[in-house]
Amino acid sequence: MNYGERISKLRQSKNITQKELALKLYVTDKTISSWESNRTEPSLEMIVKLSEILECSASYLLYGNKIKDNIEMEIKVKLTKEEYDNLNKLMKLKENLLLESNQQDIYYQSYCINNNINRLLRIRLSGNKKILTYKNYDNKIYCEEYEVEVDNSDNLKKIFDFIGLKKIVEVKKERKIYSYKDKYEVSLDKVDSLGYFIEIEVKGTIKNYLEEYDNLLKNSKNLGLNLNNIEQKRYPQLMISNNDK
């Protein structure tokens, strides 16, 4: 069952017509019909309002009863050097440093997802580790991620060339990763050509996506971050935009 079918089923179970639901949401009945037929998707704001009217969780409307694995949820905020230095001092003082490393991320694109910058393959070189990752950024509040460790990145690159994968961008950064509140990982990044950033990532299985994202925003505020500086683009997207200038 998709999100449109869930909206329709819940609406009918409460004996609410499309027109009545539209009036409650201040939209047209055509909009409701478009959602229920999956022609268009309601915004996150509308999902929350729908969950209140239909008396269900927002996560159920979005995903049903299925809990998705391999989910990465994080917030990235652009920093000044002064903000970066102050946060680094704060994290060193109060939190546990998990990792400090130089990372080289090489992004590739498949012929079957050509021109879709939201779906990429990445080879990460970090210390002695070499990790192959597939990332899908299509969702607004999380990234779908699958990764495996490889023992020979040079051979992997040759295989990519052979099957027609093309390298599109390379990102180099200095990264410091801290544990935060036993629930989050805080990464302080100094990225070549892009500057300074902080990424706060939820660790563990995510059961309620909207609730987790709301908590992520609250904890970002607790660190004194200016949420007006949230960067929606990922590093490869930023690097491509930077290279196009």
* pLDDT band (50, 70, 90) for residue 197: very high
* pLDDT band (50, 70, 90) for residue 230: very high
- Let me know if 186 is exposed, middle or buried by CB neighbors in 10 A (0-12, 13-18, 19+): buried
Q: What is the pLDDT of residue 109?
A: 84
More confident residue, 16 or 52: 16
Looking only at the bridges linking them, the beta strands covering 184-191 and 71-72 are unpaired
Q: What is the pLDDT of residue 60?
A: 75
CATH at 13: 1.10.260.40
Average pLDDT, integer, range 130-136? 91
Same-domain status, 50 and 75: no
Place of tokens 């704001």: 45
Same-domain status, 14 and 103: no
Same-domain status, 221 and 192: yes
Last residue of a domain, one of 39, 63, 87: 63
CATH at 197: 2.40.320.10
Q: Give the single-character DSSP code of 41.
A: -
Q: Which of 92-101, 159-168, 203-212 has the lowest mean pLDDT?
A: 203-212
Same-domain status, 27 and 78: no
Q: What is the pLDDT of residue 245?
A: 67
Percent of the chain topping pLDDT 70: 94
Average pLDDT, integer, range 213-227? 91
Average pLDDT, integer, range 213-224? 91
- Residue 50: closest CA among 59, 38, 58: 58
Average pLDDT, integer, range 179-203? 95
Q: What is the pLDDT of residue 68?
A: 60
- Residue 121: closest CA among 74, 164, 84: 164
C-alpha–C-alpha distance, residues 192 and 190, integer Å: 7
Average pLDDT, integer, range 185-200? 97
pLDDT digits (tens, 9 = 90+) for 136-155: 887 777 888 889 999 998 99
Other beta carbons within 10 Å of 1: 9
Last residue of a domain, one of 45, 63, 81: 63
Average pLDDT, the chain: 88
pLDDT digits (tens, 9 = 90+) for 80-109: 999 999 999 999 999 999 999 999 999 998
Dihedral sign from CA coordinates of 26, 28, 31, 36: positive
- Three-state DSSP at 113 gives helix
Last residue of a domain, one of 63, 82, 107: 63
> How many distinct structural domains can be found in the chain?
2
pLDDT digits (tens, 9 = 90+) for 104-125: 999 998 655 555 678 889 999 9
Same-domain status, 36 and 81: no
Same-domain status, 184 and 155: yes
Q: What is the pLDDT of residue 69?
A: 65
Looking only at the bridges linking them, the beta strands covering 119-126 and 143-149 are unpaired
187 with 198: CB under 8 angstroms?
A: yes
Q: Which of 30-39, 62-71, 88-97 has the lowest mean pLDDT?
A: 62-71
* pLDDT band (50, 70, 90) for residue 219: very high
Q: What is the pLDDT of residue 202?
A: 92
Average pLDDT, integer, range 169-197? 96
Q: What is the pLDDT of residue 112?
A: 54
C-alpha–C-alpha distance, residues 146 and 3, integer Å: 24
Same-domain status, 168 and 227: yes
Same-domain status, 171 and 135: yes
Same-domain status, 157 and 229: yes
Same-domain status, 47 and 87: no
Same-domain status, 45 and 76: no
C-alpha–C-alpha distance, residues 78 and 74, integer Å: 13
Q: What is the pLDDT of residue 18?
A: 95
Q: Which domain holds residue 27?
A: 3-63
Same-domain status, 201 and 139: yes
